[in-house]
Amino acid sequence: MPQDELNTIFAALADPTRRAILERLAQGEASVTELAEPFDMTLPAISKHLKVLERAGLIERGREAQWRPCRLQASALKQASDWIGQYRQHWEEKLDRLDEYLKELQSRYPDDEEQAVDDQH
């Protein structure tokens, strides 16, 4: 995935209003007016947020007669999740190794653990 595309996705996700819009769209498509209802913002302000989300590929706007529903596009979220997943795996491996090391220390020095508990009381 091109770095610019990923940067655009994360920049769009950085705003709490845009994340709230995505949460709403996860429940199903909605009009701009419906998306604006929970916010103390003008329709043009909401439209600007929608344009940012659309440029990032996170939503799409349809055209059905007079209604222009907004829909969530999961593919961009998957790209962000996949990128984060690379690092999740890295840290899970590190934490698993730390856990193994701590278990090894506990098996090697079981009395030290009991002593530490006694010292605290």
Count of structural domains within the chain? 2
Q: Can you state the percent helix, strand and coil of the chain, rounding each to 5?
A: 70, 5, 20
Same domain? 42 vs 13: yes
CA–CA distance, 44 with 70 (Å, rounded to integer): 15
**pLDDT exceeds cutoff 80 at 4:** yes
Same domain? 116 vs 65: no
Same domain? 87 vs 52: no
Task: Determine how many CB atoms are found less than 10 A away from the CB of residue 121.
Answer: 4
Across 81-100, average pLDDT: 88
Domain, as residue range, for 100: 76-120
Host H or E run for residue 36: helix 32-36
Same domain? 68 vs 80: no
Same domain? 51 vs 86: no
Same domain? 14 vs 50: yes
CA–CA distance, 69 with 31 (Å, rounded to integer): 5
Alpha carbon separation from 12 to 2, 87, 108 (Å, rounded): 16, 21, 50
Same domain? 67 vs 100: no
Question: Residue 9: which CATH number?
Answer: 1.10.10.10
> Who wins on pLDDT, 67 or 10?
10
pLDDT digits (tens, 9 = 90+) for 18-66: 999 999 999 999 999 999 999 999 999 999 999 999 999 999 998 877 7
CA–CA distance, 60 with 65 (Å, rounded to integer): 16
pLDDT digits (tens, 9 = 90+) for 61-89: 988 777 789 999 989 999 999 999 888 88
Same domain? 93 vs 65: no
Same domain? 84 vs 115: yes
Same domain? 89 vs 49: no
- Predicted TM-score (pTM) of this structure: 0.71
Same domain? 33 vs 83: no
**pLDDT exceeds cutoff 70 at 5:** yes
Same domain? 12 vs 61: yes
Alpha carbon separation from 59 to 29, 48, 64, 75 (Å, rounded): 10, 13, 16, 10
